[in-house]
A and B are shown apart, each in its own frame.
Chain A
Amino acid sequence: MSGFEPVIGVEIHVQLSTRTKMFCGCALSFGDPPNTHTCPVCLAHPGVLPVVNAEAVRRALLIGLALGCEIAPRSIFHRKNYFYPDLPKAYQVSQFDIPICGRGEFTAIRDDGTDLVVGITRAHLEEDAAKLTHAGGRRAGAEGSVVDFNRGGTPLVEIVTEPDLRSASDAGTFLRQLRQTLLFLGVSDCSMEEGSMRADANVSIRPVGSHALGTKTELKNMNSFRFLERGIDAEIARQTQIVASGGRVRQETVHYEPETGEITPLRSKEESHAYRYFPEPDLVPVVPDPAWVDDLRHGLPELPVPMRRRMVGEMGLSAEDAEVLTGSPELAAYFMAVAGEADPKAAANWVRGELRAQLREVGEEPWESRVTPSRMAALVGLLAEGTVSVPAAKEVLAEVIATGGEPAAVVEARGLGQISDEDALRDVIADLMDANPDQAGQLRDGKEKVIGFFVGQAMKQTGGRADPKAVQRLVRAQIGGD
């Protein structure tokens, strides 16, 4: 790319899905009528004080531990001062020079199977601003603006990476797997559409081989990873063009318009130096008990990236299977439970394929369906031991989805057991040859194309219960007969 390489770091804001807000007892809510979850504290009435939500601290620690961060033995809150109607105190309580989680490292897996190692600069706790809606559009002097304070004070963790990413697709890979990790931790809904996860990217370019950092721009608040990737590519292209034509990149915040693919500057970044951070005197330092932190560390669930490695390395799954099956913590837990009682590869095949396909028809997810992991495992087992054929197994699955019940019992009740008794199958084939003398003659003369005809007919006669391999063999045995 014309002798330049991009240097990208990302900042991710994650709303924690705690029961209550960061500094008051108001419930978190999505979609409730505006200003129904407020109190004197989150409305910044005169005289109120913040109290730290202990569950938010616990979740921030989980995030830090999952990202391999150093946990600060003592971290403090700061006030970040600026006037805006979405910030009722006119300062955001955040963390500044001593965040709860310091340096860490996150390893993601690229599509080609290689490791993508991203340094974590920090992860800190703060509160979200309220939601401001400009009735007359974005411009100053618009018709009117309204504020919904329901969101104000929602606990946030801001994760900042080192500028370790070198392409938009790496940024996307990192963000997707970070999101999965957060979902596995159960700390956030991580919904980009609802804004419970928001990502900004800092983008700069430099000549290949250089170690200096170029002037960076901040690509703000994209509501999907795909748009963020496209935005990064567009910004890299813009910067490359500026530099290639002898210009200089300005430090500013930019916006990517997915409709047109255009990058437009938002505001000059210089203003942000006037936040006047100082230690929040209304809060005491966060000093987590080291024994508690150890407990949290040991209690971490298996996270998706290591789980994918284990699925491929120990369980023999394809990389693609592993990626799909770790798509959500619920699916991963479901699959792991099935794989604990059945052959993992066959389990992966069935869970990924037939189970999800059939459940999609009825709008259910595996973990909430009647197909418990042990029922799924039992069905995979019946197939493996040849008790049912594949078509019969699909029928059994449909029955289990519809009514529950154990697969073996369904097979029994509906007579779906596979016929592999050769005498019985020979009788079926003999009957078919009697009924179809022309094709029988061709078969005897060695015309292989009619083999399929007899196999198909035999399966039909037995309602799919015949063992297709045995039928094939027995039909073929008629060649040259009389």
Chain B
Amino acid sequence: MPLRDLTASEQVRALAAGDTTSLELVDAHLAAVEADDVRAFLAVDAEGARARARAIDALPTRPPLGGVPIGIKDALSTRDVVTTAGSRMLEGFRPVYTATCVRRLEEAGAIVVGKTNMDEFAMGSSTENSAYANTLNPWDHGRVPGGSSGGSAAAVAERQVPWSLGSDTGGSIRQPAALCGIVGVKPTYGAVSRYGLIAFASSLDQVGPFSRTVTDAALLLRHMVGRDPMDSTSLDWPGAIALPTATDLTGLRVGVVEELMGEGVEPGVRGAIEASLREMEALGATVVPVSLPSTPSGLATYYVLAPAECSANLARFDGIRYGPSVAAETLLDQYEQTRGALFGPEVKRRIMLGTFALASGYYDEYYGRAQRVRTLIVREFTEAFRSVDVLASPTSPTVAFPLGDRTADPYAMYLADVCTIPVSLAGLPAISIPCGLSGGLPVGLQLAGPAFSENRLLDAAHAVEQALAFDTRPPGLVT
């Protein structure tokens, strides 16, 4: 079997058995990255990756992740490796430190081969807001891979790496995972350190894995979670992430979020989700409808809170201490011209939205109110989890849409995250797994649970995955 067809877990096992070496794996995947025709990567660290592979191959015992390659979203700081967050504002920027979650994975034996494309500063749902390239959907090169972590999703679907890291603020892992037909996990807020994740909306951002199987996602997540002294909002993981084994769902109570199954959900998507729910019932689960009445307000709430936070988070990019800048006569001119020239339109739109939402006289009406709705949404989830174990919904109301289709209509683009945002606002864990095709394009099933219920979610997702036996290979992909 070609090395790229091995899942990450299979690669770890092959390394342990001595059937391959880390260098062979890295070379095989680098060759695919170099032959890339979906433009998943922004930067490739071939020499560094080979050097680390050789070093791991020379160790007397392999670390737990063996020396398996990984792709990292360009929103994560990687020492000496150019990190742009998809923005001209950080063109050529080489960080002086590595994000905690990346460092932990490297210490566990993951080998970073490069940085993946993304919407600028993680703002977008199609990766078309990248200042550098449009990433293409491996299932249909005329369509978007989703976003903002579109490069990480496409790289895994295209088997350029067996797994990768993304970040999810309102759906930026789950939605591209759904559109590219792979698995994506957004962990509980606080489960994974955000130190080194270039912030979009700090109260929502979480780093999580992409992979082709639920087991691989669990394996990667296992080495990411846990409190980090550099991130005050990170938490001790209660216990450990277990590798999922469940093949039936006996006793599992599944709530189907009514508000996320109605208008706006494509018939093909709804059909695939309903089929998955029937499959879950067949596996022993009880499936019941659940109402979360405030979820329709989720989108509006999110588009007040996230821009408000981003308006402050992105204020540090002024061209003075690092990154390119536009020289000007006065300080104010330098700020305006640097930020005017180097931020893209969507980033500027959200900075303006957020600045407005926080302005004196509007704060209570926008930011204050959005916080109250957020509290309401949290309460509704808490209430729902009294009667069900997991909540099911589509990950995205549509399959991958054509490139350019929504770039002129920000609101249409925002709707891509309508199913994922409420979970983000509540800080809860969720997983998206491919559950079928609609018009030949993958559909994602989102399962969400209470805080720190990742093990149960992974188990449930694993059982569904085994039953559905979705083929993650995009049509025509030759490995």
A46/B83 in contact, CB under 8 A: yes
A49/B312 in contact, CB under 8 A: no
List A contacts of B315 (CB < 8 A).
81, 83, 89-91
A274 adjacent to chain B (CB < 8 Å): yes
B321/A278 in contact, CB under 8 A: no
Closest beta carbon of chain A to B55's beta carbon, Å:
26
Closest beta carbon of chain B to A256's beta carbon, Å:
26
B308 adjacent to chain A (CB < 8 Å): yes
List B contacts of A281 (CB < 8 A).
201-203, 233, 309
B95 adjacent to chain A (CB < 8 Å): yes
Pick the residue among B75, B195, B322, B367 that contacts A48 (CB under 8 A). B195
A276/B230 in contact, CB under 8 A: no
Closest beta carbon of chain B to A280's beta carbon, Å:
8
Closest beta carbon of chain B to A79's beta carbon, Å:
5
B95/A47 in contact, CB under 8 A: yes
Pick the residue among B232, B308, B329 that contacts A49 (CB under 8 A). B232
* B437-452 residues at the A interface, CB under 8 angstroms: none
Give the docked Cα–Cα distance between A282 and B83 (Å): 22
Give the docked Cα–Cα distance between A40 and B202 (Å): 17
B318/A46 in contact, CB under 8 A: no
A83/B335 in contact, CB under 8 A: yes
* B78-96 residues at the A interface, CB under 8 angstroms: 83, 85, 90, 93, 95-96
Pick the residue among A49, A52, A83, A274 that contacts B195 (CB under 8 A). A49
B350 adjacent to chain A (CB < 8 Å): no
List A contacts of B194 (CB < 8 A).
47, 49
Q: Which of B24-32, B265-273, B354-362 contacts A (4 or more CB under 8 A)?
A: B354-362
Closest beta carbon of chain A to B376's beta carbon, Å:
18
A140/B359 in contact, CB under 8 A: no
Give the docked Cα–Cα distance between A278 and B202 (Å): 12
List A contacts of B355 (CB < 8 A).
276
Interface size on A, residues (CB 8 A): 30
List A contacts of B96 (CB < 8 A).
40, 45
A353 adjacent to chain B (CB < 8 Å): no
Please indicate which of the listed interface residues A52, A83, A89 has the most CB atoms of chain B within 10 Å of its own CB.
Answer: A83
* A264-282 residues at the B interface, CB under 8 angstroms: 273-274, 276-278, 281-282
With contacts A46-B77, A47-B77, A278-B312 taken as known, whether A83 is within 8 angstroms of B95 at the C-beta atoms is no
Find the A residue at minimum CB distance from B322. Answer: A45
Chain B 307-334 interface mask (CB, 8 Å, partner A; 1/0): 0110110011110111000000111000
Chain A 78-98 interface mask (CB, 8 Å, partner B; 1/0): 010101010011110000000
Pick the residue among B93, B230, B233, B312 that contacts A81 (CB under 8 A). B312
B99 adjacent to chain A (CB < 8 Å): yes
Pick the residue among B76, B85, B330, B367 that contacts A278 (CB under 8 A). B367
B97/A45 in contact, CB under 8 A: yes
List A contacts of B85 (CB < 8 A).
46
Please indicate which of the listed interface residues B76, B231, B309, B315 has the most CB atoms of chain A within 10 Å of its own CB.
Answer: B315
B76/A47 in contact, CB under 8 A: yes
B95/A49 in contact, CB under 8 A: no
Please indicate which of the listed interface residues A90, A274, A284 has the most CB atoms of chain B within 10 Å of its own CB.
Answer: A90
Give the docked Cα–Cα distance between A446 and B204 (Å): 103
Closest beta carbon of chain A to B93's beta carbon, Å:
7
Give the docked Cα–Cα distance between A79 and B313 (Å): 10
Closest beta carbon of chain A to B430's beta carbon, Å:
20
B360/A274 in contact, CB under 8 A: yes
Give the docked Cα–Cα distance between A79 and B354 (Å): 14
A51/B360 in contact, CB under 8 A: no
Chain B 202-235 interface mask (CB, 8 Å, partner A; 1/0): 1100000000000000000000000001111100
Chain A 41-63 interface mask (CB, 8 Å, partner B; 1/0): 00111111111100000000000
With contacts A49-B194, A51-B230, A83-B335 taken as known, whether A282 is within 8 angstroms of B202 at the C-beta atoms is yes
B321/A88 in contact, CB under 8 A: yes
B197 adjacent to chain A (CB < 8 Å): yes
Query: Interface SS of chain B: helix, strand, loop or mixed?
Result: loop
List B contacts of A140 (CB < 8 A).
330-331
Pick the residue among B195, B203, B312, B335 that contacts A47 (CB under 8 A). B195
Find the A residue at minimum CB distance from B358. Answer: A276
Please indicate which of the listed interface residues B75, B95, B321 has the most CB atoms of chain A within 10 Å of its own CB.
Answer: B321
Give the docked Cα–Cα distance between A83 and B202 (Å): 20
Closest beta carbon of chain B to A146's beta carbon, Å:
11
Find the A residue at minimum CB distance from B75. Answer: A47
Give the docked Cα–Cα distance between A52 and B230 (Å): 10
B198 adjacent to chain A (CB < 8 Å): yes
B199 adjacent to chain A (CB < 8 Å): yes
Closest beta carbon of chain B to A274's beta carbon, Å:
7
Please indicate which of the listed interface residues A43, A46, A85, A282 has the most CB atoms of chain B within 10 Å of its own CB.
Answer: A46
A90/B316 in contact, CB under 8 A: yes
B358/A283 in contact, CB under 8 A: no
List B contacts of A47 (CB < 8 A).
75-77, 95, 99, 194-199
With contacts A45-B97, A81-B315, A274-B360 taken as known, whether A283 is within 8 angstroms of B232 at the C-beta atoms is yes
Find the B residue at minimum CB distance from A149. Answer: B321
List A contacts of B233 (CB < 8 A).
49, 281-284
Give the docked Cα–Cα distance between A141 and B195 (Å): 37
List B contacts of A46 (CB < 8 A).
77, 83, 85, 90, 93, 95, 198, 316-317
List A contacts of B75 (CB < 8 A).
47
Give the docked Cα–Cα distance between A89 and B313 (Å): 8
Closest beta carbon of chain A to B338's beta carbon, Å:
11
List B contacts of A88 (CB < 8 A).
316, 321
Chain A 428-467 interface mask (CB, 8 Å, partner B; 1/0): 0000000000000000000000000000000000000000
List A contacts of B322 (CB < 8 A).
45
Chain B 177-210 interface mask (CB, 8 Å, partner A; 1/0): 0000000000000000011111101110000000
A91/B232 in contact, CB under 8 A: no
Please indicate which of the listed interface residues B99, B198, B230, B367 has the most CB atoms of chain A within 10 Å of its own CB.
Answer: B230
Give the docked Cα–Cα distance between A326 and B308 (Å): 50
Give the docked Cα–Cα distance between A44 and B76 (Å): 15
Give the docked Cα–Cα distance between A438 and B272 (Å): 134
29 contacts between A and B (CB under 8 A): A40-B95, A45-B77, A45-B322, A46-B83, A46-B90, A46-B95, A47-B95, A47-B99, A47-B195, A47-B196, A47-B199, A48-B195, A49-B232, A81-B311, A83-B318, A83-B335, A85-B318, A85-B320, A89-B312, A90-B316, A140-B331, A273-B360, A276-B312, A276-B355, A278-B308, A278-B312, A281-B203, A281-B309, A282-B232
- 5 tightest A-B CB contacts, nearest first: A90-B315, A281-B203, A276-B358, A281-B202, A47-B77
Known: A276-B311, A282-B199. 11 other contacts (CB 8 A): A44-B316, A46-B77, A46-B90, A46-B93, A47-B95, A51-B232, A90-B315, A141-B330, A278-B363, A282-B233, A284-B232
Chain B residues near A (Cβ < 8 Å): 75-77, 83, 85, 90, 93, 95-97, 99, 194-199, 201-203, 229-233, 308-309, 311-312, 315-318, 320-322, 329-331, 335, 355, 358-360, 363, 367
Chain A residues near B (Cβ < 8 Å): 40, 43-52, 79, 81, 83, 85, 88-91, 140-141, 273-274, 276-278, 281-284
